[in-house]
Amino acid sequence: MNKDKQFTELGQKIEAAKRQKKAIECRTSFLDFVKYTMPDADDPDDIEISMFKDAKHHRALAKVLEKVEKGHIPRLIVCMPPRHGKSELISRRFVPWIQGKDPYRSVIFATYNEDFAKDFGADVRNIMSMPQYKHVFPNHTFRKGGASKSRIQMGSGGMSVFVGRGGSITGRGGDFVILDDPIKDSLEANSPALREQLWQWFTQVLMTRLMTASASIVIVQTRWNEDDLVGRLTDPTNPHYTEEEASKWKIINLPALAEDDDPLGRKPGELLWPERFDMEFMEAQRRLDRRGFSALYQGKPTPEDGDLFRREHLVFYDKAKLPKDLRIYAASDHAVGVDRTRNDATCLMIIGVDQQDDIYVLDCWWQKQPTDKVVDAMLELIRKHKPLIWWAEKGHISKAIGPFLRKRMAEERVYCRIEEVTPVANKVQRAQSILGRMAMKKVQMPKNAHWTGAAVDELLKFPQGRHDDFVDTLAWVGMGLSRLASPSGKITKESSSPKVGTLAWVKWDSAMRSKQNRIENATGGW
């Protein structure tokens, strides 16, 4: 045997060993399987090159799906923006992977119509016919005559079924059920009749097809409407919601632009897939349809119009065009007291008022944090913006964080006049203090702040929404500004007060508060 032949055989053995190692890795690592079954078109024999270019969210999602396959997550909801790889991973690749790992399993795949379901069925069949797939799962075989677009039968007895929304699944059970985008578009999503039909089919047909109590179901979708399937299962404000059912589901929402408490650990505003969709693209989508962007790209659909605040009331400003010489005030809604039973967040807000009495929301700290973190945030906002007055609901500061706040103010030498407002008990009546200004389009929010979308969502859902932190904070702003208004209706400029934060200002502030208390006691307050 000559040396060339020996080298050739040695190379073949090395290559075979590499492929065997890769096959073993693909059986345990779902992402490796995805890459291996998507070879590079120019060099399909190179096992290290793949057409699938994974990002952080793909890697995280793949790990979650591995837990689903093992039975550790029996109920999973994944919400992602369009064209971010959800269908490629979950619908096209996950089905053949779990089928290959255990060919005795039965899988039910469903989507918004039968034709689209058959397309996925054809894709799955083609993947399972690839040499790469057969190398990973060499014992896989099709039952003779058992491979079609709507049904794939395994030689060992397992089966994958592909159906459209509303289709019959009688007599077929699934160890895994995958529901991919049950709603086609906004036209379908905005049809109450269709949403109800989907709900009835999901609860009375699809969920009854689970083979065992431990069977797994995955819902993956782009959100269109607050009353969609995910909303009915997980939103406490939805009439179909039950705490018992919601507790069964693990929910992963991967917004295009990161928000607070991002599941991937991104900073607010950070892109989900910057290699494919840059900030220019996202801003263009947001400008085109702000409500649609919130639903499709952020996974937070909102009603077309709120019961109190309407979309036409909302005005947004560009920070580059912000008026100068604004009078700065602050307000807050603290997650304390007997009414805070809904796990609300604390909302700290900085506003500016121009010469026309237009209100600009300049800054907002809106988080679920303990008292010390809230006080830290208050001091930072005071230090940064130097508000003339800070308004809050009566008792929220004085009874909850007052002593600690005063101590920290003295230590940091950061001061602000705190005024506590006595509100009416009814939250809708409280909101009236700011509603008129908003209806006149005299309240503006920043265009691209990471919290703007959440604020819009809460405003439009008020008073039916689960939370009212932002609305209540705006209410304290409205009430506070009304207290400052002169008989002519113009807001006073507080020109007689000493410089904010000085010792003279602290003494003056104390005297002003004593005077205000005497007035309230004489008039009965608010």
pLDDT of 133 > 80? The answer is yes
**Per the structure block, which two tokens stand in for 391?**
């308004």
Strands in 346-353's sheet, in edge-to-edge order, are 315-317, 443-446, 359-367, 346-353, 327-333, 389-393, 417-421
Task: Measure the CA–CA gap between 462 and 307, rounded to whole angstroms.
Answer: 7
First to last CA, the chain: 102
**Per the structure block, which two tokens stand in for 201?**
């089919």
Q: What is the pLDDT of residue 504?
A: 60
SS3 content of the chain, % helix, strand, coil (to 5): 45, 15, 40
User: Do residues 329 and 213 both lie within one domain?
Assistant: no
Q: Which of 254, 289, 318 is the last residue of a domain?
A: 254
Q: What is the pLDDT of residue 140?
A: 84
User: Do residues 208 and 316 both lie within one domain?
Assistant: no
Q: 121 falls in which pLDDT band (50, 70, 90)?
A: very high
Q: Which domain holds residue 451?
A: 308-523
pLDDT digits (tens, 9 = 90+) for 79-109: 999 999 998 999 999 999 999 999 899 999 9
CATH number at residue 357: 3.30.420.240
- Residue 181 lies inside a defined structural domain of this protein: yes
Average pLDDT for the chain? 84
Q: Select the more confidently predicted residue: 35 or 483.
A: 35
Q: 128 Cβ partners below 8 Å, 6+ apart?
A: 96, 99, 100, 140, 142, 152
User: Do residues 208 and 319 both lie within one domain?
Assistant: no
Lowest mean pLDDT among 83-87, 255-259, 522-526: 522-526
Lowest mean pLDDT among 57-71, 77-91, 370-384, 450-464: 450-464
User: Do residues 388 and 500 both lie within one domain?
Assistant: yes
Q: What is the pLDDT of residue 156?
A: 80
Q: What is the pLDDT of residue 490?
A: 42
User: Do residues 358 and 461 both lie within one domain?
Assistant: yes
Count up the domains in the chain and report the number: 2
Q: 496 falls in which pLDDT band (50, 70, 90)?
A: low
User: Do residues 229 and 327 both lie within one domain?
Assistant: no
Q: What is the pLDDT of residue 505?
A: 53
pLDDT of 30 > 90? The answer is yes
Q: What is the pLDDT of residue 78?
A: 96
pLDDT digits (tens, 9 = 90+) for 301-356: 876 656 788 878 889 998 888 998 899 999 999 886 444 444 578 999 999 999 99
pLDDT digits (tens, 9 = 90+) for 222-250: 998 888 999 999 988 777 888 899 999 99
pLDDT of 270 > 90? The answer is yes
- Residue 25 lies inside a defined structural domain of this protein: no
Q: Which of 208, 234, 254 is the last residue of a domain?
A: 254
Q: 40 falls in which pLDDT band (50, 70, 90)?
A: confident
User: Do residues 386 and 519 both lie within one domain?
Assistant: yes
User: Do residues 312 and 456 both lie within one domain?
Assistant: yes
- Residue 59 lies inside a defined structural domain of this protein: no
User: Do residues 445 and 509 both lie within one domain?
Assistant: yes
- Residue 167 lies inside a defined structural domain of this protein: yes
User: Do residues 127 and 228 both lie within one domain?
Assistant: yes
This prediction has a pTM of 0.64
Q: Select the more confidently predicted residue: 157 or 477.
A: 477
What is the percent of the chain with per-residue pLDDT over 70, rounded to a whole number?
84
Alpha carbon separation from 502 to 291, 406, 415 (Å, rounded): 45, 15, 8
Task: Measure the CA–CA gap between 291 and 303, rounded to whole angstroms.
Answer: 9
User: Do residues 372 and 481 both lie within one domain?
Assistant: yes
Q: What is the pLDDT of residue 308?
A: 85
Query: What are the helix (H) ranges across 328-468?
Result: 371-385, 402-412, 427-439, 452-461
Q: What is the pLDDT of residue 238?
A: 75
Task: Measure the CA–CA gap between 510 and 502, rounded to whole angstroms.
Answer: 13
Closest to 118 in 3D by CA, of 167, 69, 50: 167
pLDDT digits (tens, 9 = 90+) for 423-440: 766 788 888 889 989 999
Residue identified by tokens 């807000």 is 349
pLDDT digits (tens, 9 = 90+) for 387-429: 999 998 887 776 778 888 888 988 989 889 888 888 766 788 8
- Residue 115 lies inside a defined structural domain of this protein: yes
Q: Which of 254, 272, 298 is the last residue of a domain?
A: 254
Q: What is the pLDDT of residue 339?
A: 43
Amino acid at 444: Q
- Residue 290 lies inside a defined structural domain of this protein: no
- Residue 250 lies inside a defined structural domain of this protein: yes
CATH number at residue 230: 3.40.50.300
pLDDT of 501 > 80? The answer is no
- Residue 469 lies inside a defined structural domain of this protein: yes
pLDDT digits (tens, 9 = 90+) for 179-222: 999 998 888 887 888 888 999 999 999 998 888 878 999 999 99
User: Do residues 463 and 322 both lie within one domain?
Assistant: yes
DSSP per-residue codes, 82-110: TTSSHHIIIIIIHHHHHHHH-TT-EEEEE
Measured torsion, CA atoms of residues 423, 428, 434, 438, in degrees rounded to the nearest 10: 180
pLDDT of 521 > 60? The answer is no
